[in-house]
Amino acid sequence: MALVPCQVLRAAILLSYCSILCNYKAIDMPAHQTYGGSWKFLTFIDLVIQAVFFGICVLTDLSSLLTKGNDSQEQERQLKKLISLRDWVMAVLAFPVGVFVVTMFWSIYIYDRELVYPKLLDNFIPAWLNHGMHTTVLPFVLIEMRTTHHQYPSRSCGLAAVCTFAVGYILWVCWIHHVTGVWVYPLLEHLSPGVKIIFFAAVTVIINIFYLMGEVLNNYIWDTQK
């Protein structure tokens, strides 16, 4: 794809995430007023990750255009650092977390929506906003992977970073339950302590699998061996 269309596409995706975040934060939901606020929901954290990632993409595109034809080694070095940051965020956060949110949400929603997205939320969150949070994330991140080759970190470092994020969020959810006595997701209310441990372990494994899928897909699309 040409450079300019890619720039416009990334800018449009960034604006869409900004709009989704603004509309979501403007909703007066009781859950937003409790301990942890919006930050206790992985969906909201993922939206922030995606917005930050595409913000970095747009900044990288602008920097690339500004340094084009410039022989400054310092500017070239700074651009390479920005590209490395963009690739790392894509590999470790944007792709695995984004795919995890979409697949897990809709899988549980189809089985029993009350476990993850009670009907009560329909009174607060319109359908278009729900899809903006839980559906369009996947095509957006796949479009980015198709338009730009991303350099993945070493597999051990990448998996370690993904595990750190997953375990950190699980501990955050457990801490919220410790403070409030309420689980962030209704699904957890129905699980025994032993099953919760298995569930959390499975979740960590799944998000690591999505990281590996992203790495394989990235290499397949761009055929880095050649």
pLDDT (tens digit per residue) in 37-69 = 999 999 999 999 999 999 999 999 988 887 776
Token pair recorded at residue 50: 């995606």
CA pair distance 174, 203, nearest whole angstrom: 14
Residue 69 is predicted with a pLDDT of: 66
Residue 31 is predicted with a pLDDT of: 79
- Look-up: residue for tokens 């796949």? 142
Judged against a pLDDT cut of 70, whether residue 101 lies above it is answered with yes
For 155-210, the pLDDT digits (tens) are 999 999 999 999 999 999 999 999 999 999 988 998 999 999 999 999 999 999 99
CA pair distance 193, 133, nearest whole angstrom: 30
Do the beta carbons of residue 145 and residue 95 sit within 8 Å?
yes
* CA 89 to mean position of chain CA atoms: 9
Residue 3 is predicted with a pLDDT of: 47
CA pair distance 99, 93, nearest whole angstrom: 10
Q: For the packed helices 73-89 and 42-67, what is the interaxial angle rounded to 10 degrees?
A: 160
Q: Which stretch of DSSP H or E encloses residue 170?
A: helix 155-180
End-to-end Cα, the chain, rounded Å: 19
Token pair recorded at residue 17: 């995430």
**Across residues 106-111, what is the average pLDDT?**
93
Residue 76 is predicted with a pLDDT of: 82
CA pair distance 152, 88, nearest whole angstrom: 7
CA pair distance 145, 200, nearest whole angstrom: 28
- Look-up: residue for tokens 């651009």? 79
Token pair recorded at residue 84: 């490395």
Residues 6+ apart with CB under 8 A from 33: none
Flag whether the pTM goes above 0.85: yes
